[in-house]
Structure formats: structure tokens, C-alpha cells
Amino acid sequence: MATIEAVLGDITTEHVDAIVNAANALMLGGGGVDGAIHAAAGPRLLEACRRVRNTTHRDGLAVGEAVATSAGNLPAQWVIHTVGPNRHRGQTDPALLASCFTRCLEVAREIGARSIAFPAVSAGVYGWDSADVARIAVDAVRKDLAAHDDADDPEAADGAIELVRFVLFSASSLADFEAALAD
């Protein structure tokens, strides 16, 4: 079974296979986590996002979906971009938020990532309460990992995700995620 943990930190410095970007639909950079990741990754990340926009996601990335790109100058090998629901736009369905986390795990498996770091997708400027994000994210990740945990099949375990780390920017968000993990 994978390790699930929460830490206070900067997701752009995480030494994991993939980090998750709380992106906007355009995938061309923005504020918050998205802006920090693009700034740290450098222009190669923007180029990779433009390639995705010019090929498979011409209309942008839908809420709850995920797609991977290279990571530019980041220590991670990949960035998995997901668009969280925006409460200010009436996107209040917890299933949409849960989908961000499960789709990222799905994409991580597709690219062979065994470790992944998530921010608090949709908390902050997208209007979701950090405690709600924590409960929904932890529940979605636990269910997804349990569904893909096949202890009787050694080959399945070879491609399994071993580490899920929630990397939080504030002590209050960290406390919310620690509380969700303790349940």
C-alpha cells in the first residue's frame, strides 16, 4: 500500500516523479500554484503546455481532467496539470474536485510515475475551503489507491504508486490535511 502524507513546503522543490499543477483551462500559466510552477520550471514547461493545447486539448483542459507534460527545470520528471472546480463560478460538486485527484493518479500510472505531489487543488482563489478540499482529496486518493492495490499480483505492484504527498503552502492547510489523514 502506498504512503500518503502531508507536508508544509514548496511543491516546485519536491523530488518526486510527478507534481500536480492546479492549472487553469488554458494551461498557459496563471497565479498561485500554477504561476509558481511555471516560474520555477522555466520556458520549457510553457512550450510543453502549448504543444498539448495545439494537439490533444485545443479547447483547453476541462474541470476535473488531467494531462501530463514534461517538467522543464523542476526536480520532478513530469507535471500533471488538472483544473479544479471554481466555487465562485458555481462549480460546487465534490465529485468534480475528487476527479482532479483520481484523474491525476490515473495519468501518473499511465506515465509510470511511482511518486506524486499534490497541492490543495481548488483551495484559495477557487473558493473551496481548505478543510473540505482536504477531506475530499484524502478520501479520493485512499479509494483510488485501494482500488488499484493488488497484493496478490506482483506485476501490478511493480507499476503501483508508492507515495502520495500533499504539499501545502500554509500551516492551516497542513493542519486540515493532517486532520483528514488522521480520520
Q: Which three cell numbers stand for residue 47?
A: 512550450
Is 34 a known active-site residue? yes
- Let me know: does 137 contact 5? Beta carbons within 8 Å: no
Instruction: Yes or no: say if 179 and 6 are a contact pair by the CB < 8 Å rule.
Output: no
- Contact yes or no for 78/113 (Cβ under 8 A): yes
Beta strand extents in 1-112 (DSSP E only)? 3-8, 18-23, 66-70, 78-83
Exactly one of 34, 149, 153, 158 is catalytic; which is it? 34
Q: Which residues pair with 166 in a beta bridge?
A: 6, 118
Active site residues: 34
